[in-house]
Amino acid sequence: MEFVFRRSYRGPLKAVILDWAGTTVDYGSRAPAMIFVEVFKQRGVTITFEEAREPMGMAKKDHIRKITQMKSVAQRWQDIHGQLPSEADVEAMYEEFIPLQLEALADYTDLIPGTRAAISDFQRRGLKIGSNTGYNREMTNILLAEARIQGYEPDSTVCASEVPAGRPEPWMALKNAMEMRVYPMEAIVKIDDTVPGIEEGLNARMWTIGLVQTGNEIGLSEAEIKALAPEILQTRLEQGYQRLSHAGAHYVIDGIWEAPRILDEISNRLNYGERP
């Protein structure tokens, strides 16, 4: 045979799956970064915010493990402790991370500007709204309670601790889809501000939208963003756009407020039979 035929989905979008810190809450994704720095400081090892942010999006224990595997951090650790960090050190730091993060989290739960309007747009389209995160369930419950007060309540919320592995593996996004009973995967859009979050969506065969200005790529609060010189902000944005684009994001935008127009573009592509 010269031709092989396959099914092609040409229906509407059915769902979006949203990250939390840096995407819908905590402008700049500051809460986890500060705690990672503090956990290593308590062990006598100084890490930079850039090092703390590098694995952002992963499950928090995996994140800590990834930091210990950085050559610069491992060398500093060895200089202080006389040996490289072990898995026991990772486990101990994660246990120290949990109460520190729980204590700080409530101060970083404000919805990012534009989130409520975007959520309303998604709902008008009839989309299911899923969410997932590298936080554990206890931390996520704090986010859910605070977000509910502000008018945001997703249809499905999945934590990294509830699946075999967190990002970049696809299991959280797939569990969201299962809980919302939404398929096929090309009818779903994953929106995230981190490289592992984009990779998660790609590995789940979903469309992906990366966010730069409000998330981990720049790592600044809204006030700090506004205080930047325009040329510096533009340079930082371009660097973030390049990084998330290279990670494979189908689209990269500044913040969630731009997502509705991107959903229109994806809907048009689906109508022509395109897949992510």
The residue written with tokens 């494979």 in the block is: 248
Cite the residue boundaries of each domain of the chain with CATH code 3.40.50.1000: 15-30+109-271
| DSSP-assigned states of every residue in 10-45 | -S---EEEE-SBTTTBSTT-HHHHHHHHHHHHHTT-
pLDDT on residue 1: 58
pLDDT on residue 5: 78
From the list 14, 19, 61, 175, the catalytic residue is: 19
Q: CB–CB of 27/114 below 8 Å?
A: no
**Residue 110 is among the residues annotated as catalytic for this protein:** no
**Average pLDDT, integer, range 211-216:** 97
β partners of residue 25: 21, 111
Cite the residue boundaries of each domain of the chain with CATH code 1.10.150.240: 31-107
Confidence of residue 178 (pLDDT cuts 50, 70, 90): very high
Kindly report whether the peptide bond that precedes residue 12 is cis, defined as omega within 30 degrees of 0. no
pLDDT 10s digits, 57-96: 999 999 999 999 999 999 999 999 999 999 999 999 999 9
Report the phi/psi class of residue 181: left, alpha or beta, with left for phi > 0 and alpha for psi in -120 to 50.
left
pTM score, whole prediction: 0.92
pLDDT 10s digits, 21-42: 999 999 999 999 999 999 999 9
pLDDT 10s digits, 187-209: 999 999 999 999 999 999 999 99
User: For residue 6, is pLDDT > 90?
Assistant: no
User: For residue 43, is pLDDT > 90?
Assistant: yes
pLDDT 10s digits, 145-160: 999 999 999 999 999 9
From the list 14, 26, 60, 175, the catalytic residue is: 60
**Residue 193 is among the residues annotated as catalytic for this protein:** no
Angle at 14 between CA 25 and CA 267, to 5 degrees: 95
β partners of residue 211: 253
Domain 31-107 has CATH 1.10.3720.10: no
In CATH, which of 3.40.50.1000, 3.40.50.720, 3.40.50.12160, 3.40.50.2300 is domain 15-30+109-271?
3.40.50.1000
Confidence of residue 251 (pLDDT cuts 50, 70, 90): very high
